[in-house]
Structure 1
Amino acid sequence: MAGLCVDLSGNRIVDHVDLTVHAGEWVTVIGPNGAGKSTLLRAVGGLLPATGAISLFGTPAGALRRRDRARIVATVVQMPAVPPGMTVFDYTLLGRTPYIAPLGRESAADLAAVRDVLGQLDLDRFADRQLATLSGGERQRVFLARALAQGATLLLLDEPTSALDIGHQQEVLELVDQLRRDHGLTVLATMHDLSLAGEYADRMVLLADGRVVAAGPPQDVLTEELLATHYRARVRVILGDHGPLVVPVRPRIVARADGGAGADQGDASGISVGLGHHKT
């Protein structure tokens, strides 16, 4: 993408973003709340109007019909809408929509593709279960299954682990990375957890106020100076086996003149709760 801009309700949310994601690469976009991360992904996926140039594997996005674009790009949003009572199989089958003619029915090949994807993600035993009855981690795998059923080569993941505990976060990200290696997928993601982002991404992009303020390998983007500036956070960055690990650090405690201790910022008076007495 080059010079990508998105305006919503008269406000510039994404401001002249230039970004190239190479085939087979995993790029993660980070940034504080309101930086424009999700808006950027939605624009790339064709879900929001944008100006500037978006090219998908060498083809201008504007030259693609919606159906053809859906065969290239699959998006997993933070909170997908799930029709009540829908089974895992039927939800995954929605991913085959770009291959089904208008007013047509799914083919044997479509059904086979869904069964294959559910098997790959160890979801075949849930095929007849209603999606609403699954755990958060299981549902997230079903959302990925629908995206994979599209046969798309670009996977857009908007906060794929935001509602999961740490075990399911690792499970989902390992699954995405394995699928990327096995199927040659290209991944563009947004993530809040900086340590997880740094462990899985090949490259990272830091957005602030809709603009790219840093881009490159995780170790070049996840620095204490950049995170302090743009997140207003005290952190320590530790080099891990697979990437930088970002650890929040509490404010420094300083001694008070009365012999107590207090934080070096803010009101240290604390909170007191009084218990009243009823008169008799």
Structure 2
Amino acid sequence: MPPPPSAGEPRTAPAVEADGLRITLGGAPILAGVDLSVATGEWVTVIGPNGAGKSTLLRAVGGLLPADSGSVSLFGTPLPRLTRRERARIVATVAQSPVVPAGMAVLDYVLLGRTPYIPPLGRESAADLAAVHDVLDRLELSRFAARPLVTLSGGERQRVFLARALAQGAPLLLLDEPTSALDIGHQQEVLELIDQLRRDDGLTVLATMHDLSVAGEYADRLVLMAGGRVVAAGPPRDVLTAELLSTHYQARVRVIDGEHGPLVVPVRAPRV
């Protein structure tokens, strides 16, 4: 996290500030008073066992799910004060299973990311098309531009989903399991690209991930959730400990210190 400003220096509002967030779905509490702060330019990844509330938290931050109580602010503005179009210019989301319109070509799908900038009943501008082609080039998807999205492999589609989000030009990127459909090579390719964009363009990243080693390699901070609450938060080496993972995942693991972060290796129980 960036150091605090010195005396007399203006304070920058966090990119994300969630305070006491509570959400109940179908009568079951999903988030039970979650506090979260993400600094501008920071990469924070939320981890935790299935059912911990990770995806629900991202949907609430993105304005896709109303909270029963608590508040969310984006770059200092309370979420309810933002219109849908204003919110779409601030935050872009890559969901786990985006809806793919039947027969839509890759170029047209990525162009949907420019919707917040196109006037009602208007058409995309040359600047919108240039932004889309730039993203397609950066993700090595230009050769698929005319292909129907449904004809691509799972990994290729995942990169197209990311391309649509990046085409929005939003300063906050929400990633819900962004590499779940990718092989290890494309996982690294996509995550390195996101990290490069974060450094070059000042993107703020809030993600969820199941792969703990990958989460620790790329995030500045990890937030461990269990039972709808934050149970640990801090640098990867403070959160990815055998004790915490055993307690909250009910798993046997070995944690090995790596160059960029801890590596978590599952360990089989002793044979009897």
Scaled by the length of structure 2, what TM-score is found?
Answer: 0.91
Deviations 1:83-104 (A, max 9, x none): 1111110000000111112222
Task: Report the counterpart of residue 134 of structure 1 in structure 2.
Answer: 152
The alignment-based identity, stated in percent, is 78
User: After the TM superposition, which residues 110-121 of structure 1 pair with which residues of structure 2 at under 5 Å, given as runs?
Assistant: 110-121=128-139
In structure 1, the residue corresponding to 2:41 is in which secondary structure? coil
Using the TM superposition, give the Cα deviation of residue 137 of structure 1 relative to its aligned residue in structure 2, in angstroms.
2.2
**What CA distance in whole angstroms lies between the structure 2 residues aligned with 1:198 and 1:119?**
28
Retained in 1: the 8 A contact 2:106–2:145? Answer: yes
Retained in 2: the 8 A contact 1:191–1:197? Answer: yes
In structure 1, the residue corresponding to 2:36 is in which secondary structure? coil
In structure 2, the residue corresponding to 1:147 is in which secondary structure? helix
Task: Report the counterpart of residue 108 of structure 1 in structure 2.
Answer: 126
Deviations 1:119-154 (A, max 9, x none): 222222211111122222222211111111111000
In structure 2, the residue corresponding to 1:34 is in which secondary structure? coil
**What CA distance in whole angstroms lies between the structure 1 residues aligned with 2:77 and 2:66?**
18
1:45 and 2:62 are equivalent in the alignment: yes
Aligned CA RMSD, in angstroms, stands at 1.0
Greater radius of gyration (CA):
1
**What CA distance in whole angstroms lies between the structure 1 residues aligned with 2:200 and 2:105?**
27
Scaled by the length of structure 1, what TM-score is found?
Answer: 0.88
Task: Report the counterpart of residue 25 of structure 2 in structure 1.
Answer: 8
In the alignment, residue 219 of structure 1 is paired with which amino acid? R
Deviations 1:237-266 (A, max 9, x none): 00001100000001123xxxxxxxx2xxxx
Deviations 1:12-56 (A, max 9, x none): 101111111001110000000000000000010111111311111
**What CA distance in whole angstroms lies between the structure 1 residues aligned with 2:154 and 2:198?**
22
Task: Report the counterpart of residue 214 of structure 1 in structure 2.
Answer: 232
Deviations 1:142-184 (A, max 9, x none): 1111111111000000001112222222222112111211211
**What CA distance in whole angstroms lies between the structure 1 residues aligned with 2:111 and 2:172?**
19
**What CA distance in whole angstroms lies between the structure 1 residues aligned with 2:182 and 2:81?**
37
Task: Report the counterpart of residue 151 of structure 1 in structure 2.
Answer: 169
Determine which of 178, 189, 205 is the counterpart of 1:187: 205
Using the TM superposition, give the Cα deviation of residue 63 of structure 1 relative to its aligned residue in structure 2, in angstroms.
0.9
Using the TM superposition, give the Cα deviation of residue 215 of structure 1 relative to its aligned residue in structure 2, in angstroms.
0.2
In the alignment, residue 153 of structure 2 is paired with which amino acid? S
**What CA distance in whole angstroms lies between the structure 2 residues aligned with 1:130 and 1:179?**
27
Using the TM superposition, give the Cα deviation of residue 71 of structure 1 relative to its aligned residue in structure 2, in angstroms.
0.3
1:96 and 2:103 are equivalent in the alignment: no
Retained in 2: the 8 A contact 1:140–1:172? Answer: no
Retained in 2: the 8 A contact 1:136–1:164? Answer: yes
Determine which of 82, 85, 92 is the counterpart of 2:103: 85
Determine which of 11, 34, 43 is the counterpart of 1:26: 43
**What CA distance in whole angstroms lies between the structure 1 residues aligned with 2:167 and 2:254?**
40
**What CA distance in whole angstroms lies between the structure 2 residues aligned with 1:67 and 1:37?**
25
Q: What stretches of structure 1 move > 3 A for 4+ residues in a row?
A: none
**What CA distance in whole angstroms lies between the structure 2 residues aligned with 1:118 and 1:135?**
16
**What CA distance in whole angstroms lies between the structure 2 residues aligned with 1:246 and 1:113?**
38
**What CA distance in whole angstroms lies between the structure 2 residues aligned with 1:10 and 1:104?**
42
Gapped regions of structure 1 (runs ≥ 5) = 254-261, 263-280
In structure 1, the residue corresponding to 2:37 is in which secondary structure? coil
Retained in 2: the 8 A contact 1:137–1:172? Answer: no
